[in-house]
Amino acid sequence: MTNNQLIVVALGGNAISRSDQEGNVAEQFENSRTTAKQLADLTEQGHNLVITHGNGPQIGNFLLRNEVAAGVIYPLDMEVAVAHVQGGMGFMIALTLTNELNRRGRERVVNTFITTVLVSADDPAFEDPAKPVGRVLTADELVKHHERGWFAKEVGPGQYRRVVPSPAPVRIMEIDAIRRAVEGGDLIVACGGGGIPVVRDSENILSGLAAVIDKDLASALLAVELDVDCIMFLTAVERVAVDFGKPTQREIDTMTVAQAQEWLDQGQFPPGSMGPKVQGAINFLAASNKPDAVAIISHLDRAADSMAGTAGTRITK
Amino acid sequence: MTNNQLIVVALGGNAISRSDQEGNVAEQFENSRTTAKQLADLTEQGHNLVITHGNGPQIGNFLLRNEVAAGVIYPLDMEVAVAHVQGGMGFMIALTLTNELNRRGRERVVNTFITTVLVSADDPAFEDPAKPVGRVLTADELVKHHERGWFAKEVGPGQYRRVVPSPAPVRIMEIDAIRRAVEGGDLIVACGGGGIPVVRDSENILSGLAAVIDKDLASALLAVELDVDCIMFLTAVERVAVDFGKPTQREIDTMTVAQAQEWLDQGQFPPGSMGPKVQGAINFLAASNKPDAVAIISHLDRAADSMAGTAGTRITK
């Protein structure tokens, strides 16, 4: 793998939050500092990075704060909440990476762009809200929930969660400014939480809405728009596996986009975890004109190794 | 006043929140849409804008939500809260301005930068926390408050508010990327709430801290760094007044920076309202090398008029 590549690095949830922690601010900063080491290693390999990230635990906790305080102070709508969390998480990721680079004597400031992502009002996802957000609700809470016009799904016996549509990303609205920053050599954080979803009406007016754009698919769109060399999905497993949990399970070092599509069609990669990463890889590789374009799915702790070719799963044309 | 000027527009609190409203999201969007008309008028005069804004009501409400929900979910530190509110308010201001420009057939996307601002750990403000944040506390609540290591001041009989230091802005950390965006012709929102305050330790590591940088002074620093033609402070009064509330009260159409300094030294402009705007104007004009540099203090509803020279107070070299 050559140096001086432009990489979209899509951070998974474990980059900031770990399931064995409460998830408070101190813990998020601690995890973010660990993640920053991997990101700094990638820059020291000579690459430039556009960093994206999820927001699952953070947006859930943000909405919970809203809900608990709703009798005292007005709540924030979900799209406004996503915008807030982009600011808070972007600050944290950018500051910890700036500090890690400072520690290495490589002074660079990392910039966070608030990112809105256009979705289509005709997206079939709006007919079937499927993405769970926030905490588990009881049957009693569900009544109040429905009164608000919200949707919910049963996730266990007598347990429900709010669900929102997860439409496909169509256009990253701030792409021109992001491209300019990338071409100028800036390290940036963008598309937090998959971006703030907006729809456009017949009079060209944009509105935010309560929905969640998959962050891996938004990252793939960003990678296409920026014409990057590589997209890297960092997660909690070492490699993509097929026949997961079966005696025939095997980890994949490399696969072509055609092979990835075939296994995806077979249902080898579960929706909501490996599925969107493989789909994002396919979307990027299908759209890229670069013959050497590559998508990598790797454990967060092996990011730099995976770029050097000694870890992770590589997907090529 | 010639066209094609680069203007830092510092929005006052009334641009987004009005004291006769609850301040909820729908109201903030409604006010923001009205403000967007003035901003769009400025762009139609041929000017390019860098928009800054305060966050007083929003950060107070954000911290209140934190506090009410603290028994259920971890609170966010103040600097992290400021970062969140930059995201939320930036999204709102950028979206409403993008829409107003779309309505006029002038498609432009407005970009929001999360902005951190360096302050000095030796700033005397840290010896005397003076900026009130959040709600009024009772004497009983004050005890708990002090246990957290927070400072408070009495604002009325038996009433207290949390106070934090308000150090001077030293450096806008993201300035290179902001300059690049401005030079590329982007409309941008930056320095929300005066910026997220950070300090640098002896090992070049940055940390956020609980403090409030005056948004007018941060805007002035931004104006200096970007070498703009004009800084405009938009507020709730038509013009700067001297001898305010006295029989000799008069409104000022134009003044030199020397005259502004003299009146400021006399205590003509109260701290926390007109004082920082006049100080910001002085800071900008003192540092600018442009002979025609101008600072304008005007009512929000007269922004375009003030740029055309028919409203507001103009301060020149």
Does the pLDDT at position A147 exceed 90?
no
**Distance between CA atoms of residues A302 and A106, nearest Å:** 22
* Contact by Cβ (8 Å): B196, B117: yes
Q: Which phi and psi angles does A73 have, rounded to 5°?
A: -145, 140
Query: What are the chain A neighbours of B93 within 8 Å (beta carbons)?
Result: none
**Distance between CA atoms of residues B17 and B93, nearest Å:** 12
Chain A residue closest in CA terms to B204: A102
Say if the Cβ atoms of B177 and A204 lie within 8 Å.
no
Catalytic residue among A55, A215, A280, A312: A215
Render B143-165 in DSSP notation, one character per residue.
HHHHHTT-EEEEEETTEEEEEE-
- The total of other beta-carbon atoms located within 10 Å of residue B36's CB is 24
Average pLDDT over chain A, rounded to an integer: 95
Sequence-ordered list of residues with C-beta below 8 angstroms from that of A136, at least 6 positions apart, any chain:
A155, A156, A159, A160, A161
Q: Number of A to B CB contacts under 8 A, please give it.
A: 173
Handedness of CA B144, B149, B150, B151 (dihedral sign): positive
Q: B200 vs chain A: nearest CA distance in angstroms?
A: 10
**Distance between CA atoms of residues A116 and A169, nearest Å:** 10
Query: What are the chain A neighbours of B92 within 8 Å (beta carbons)?
Result: 80, 83
Closest partner residue to B177 (CB to CB) among A77, A88, A186 is A186
Query: What are the chain A neighbours of B51 within 8 Å (beta carbons)?
Result: none
Amino acid code (one letter) for B205? I
A174: which DSSP letter?
T
* Contact by Cβ (8 Å): B69, B81: no
User: Largest alpha-carbon pair distance within chain B?
Assistant: 58
Q: A4 vs chain B: nearest CA distance in angstroms?
A: 20
Mean pLDDT confidence for A122-133: 94
Three-class secondary structure of residue B182 per DSSP: helix
Nearest to B239 by CA among B227, B253, B249: B253
ipTM greater than 0.90: yes
Nearest to B240 by CA among B216, B269, B211: B269
Q: B187 vs chain A: nearest CA distance in angstroms?
A: 9
Length of chain A in terms of residues written: 317
Sequence-ordered list of residues with C-beta below 8 angstroms from that of A214, at least 6 positions apart, any chain:
A166, A169, A194, A276, A280
Chain B residue closest in CA terms to A107: B204
Q: Strand A131-137 to strand A159-164: parallel, antiparallel, or no bridges (unpaired)?
A: antiparallel
**Distance between CA atoms of residues A306 and A308, nearest Å:** 5
Does the pLDDT at position A2 exceed 70?
no
- Classify residue A289 as exposed, middle or buried by CB count within 10 Å of its CB (0-12, 13-18, 19+): exposed
Say if the Cβ atoms of A180 and B176 lie within 8 Å.
no
The pLDDT > 70 percentage for chain A reads 99
Query: What are the chain B neighbours of A73 within 8 Å (beta carbons)?
Result: 61, 64-65, 68
Render A72-91 in DSSP notation, one character per residue.
TSPPPPHHHHHHHHHHHHHH
**Per-residue confidence (pLDDT) for residue B1, from 0 to 100:** 53
Question: Catalytic site residue A246?
Answer: no
Q: What's the angle, vertex CA A22, arms to CA A19 and CA A24, rounded to 5?
A: 120
**Distance between CA atoms of residues B25 and B30, nearest Å:** 9
Mean pLDDT confidence for A216-222: 98
Closest partner residue to A72 (CB to CB) among B24, B68, B88 is B68
Question: How far are the Cα atoms of B2, B3, B281, B305 from residue B308, in angstroms, in the given order?
Answer: 9, 10, 18, 5
**Per-residue confidence (pLDDT) for residue B2, from 0 to 100:** 67
Query: What are the chain B neighbours of A68 within 8 Å (beta carbons)?
Result: 68-69, 72-73
**Per-residue confidence (pLDDT) for residue B144, from 0 to 100:** 78
**Distance between CA atoms of residues A153 and A142, nearest Å:** 10
Beta bridge partners of A215: none
The pLDDT > 90 percentage for chain A reads 86
Catalytic residue among A12, A54, A90, A131: A131
Beta bridge partners of B52: B10
Beta bridge partners of A75: none
Q: Burial code of A208-223, b = ≥16 C-beta within 10 A, e = fewer?
A: bbbbbbbbbbbbbbbb
Closest partner residue to A102 (CB to CB) among B64, B77, B205 is B205
Mean pLDDT confidence for A124-134: 93
Amino acid code (one letter) for A204? N
* Contact by Cβ (8 Å): A131, A71: no
Q: Both tokens of residue B106?
A: 């002038």
Nearest to A198 by CA among A118, A87, A307: A118
Three-class secondary structure of residue A298 per DSSP: strand
Q: Strand A110-114 to strand A196-200: parallel, antiparallel, or no bridges (unpaired)?
A: unpaired
Question: Catalytic site residue A277?
Answer: yes
Q: Residues in chain B with pLDDT < 50?
A: none
Mean pLDDT confidence for A142-171: 89
Query: What are the chain A neighbours of B107 within 8 Å (beta carbons)?
Result: 204
Closest partner residue to A98 (CB to CB) among B22, B111, B206 is B206
Say if the Cβ atoms of A181 and B181 lie within 8 Å.
yes
Chain A residue closest in CA terms to B180: A181
A205 membership: H or E segment, kind and range? none
Give the residue numbers of B annotated as catalytic, written as ranges. Answer: 13-14, 131, 215, 277
**Per-residue confidence (pLDDT) for residue A1, from 0 to 100:** 53
Chain A residue closest in CA terms to B80: A88
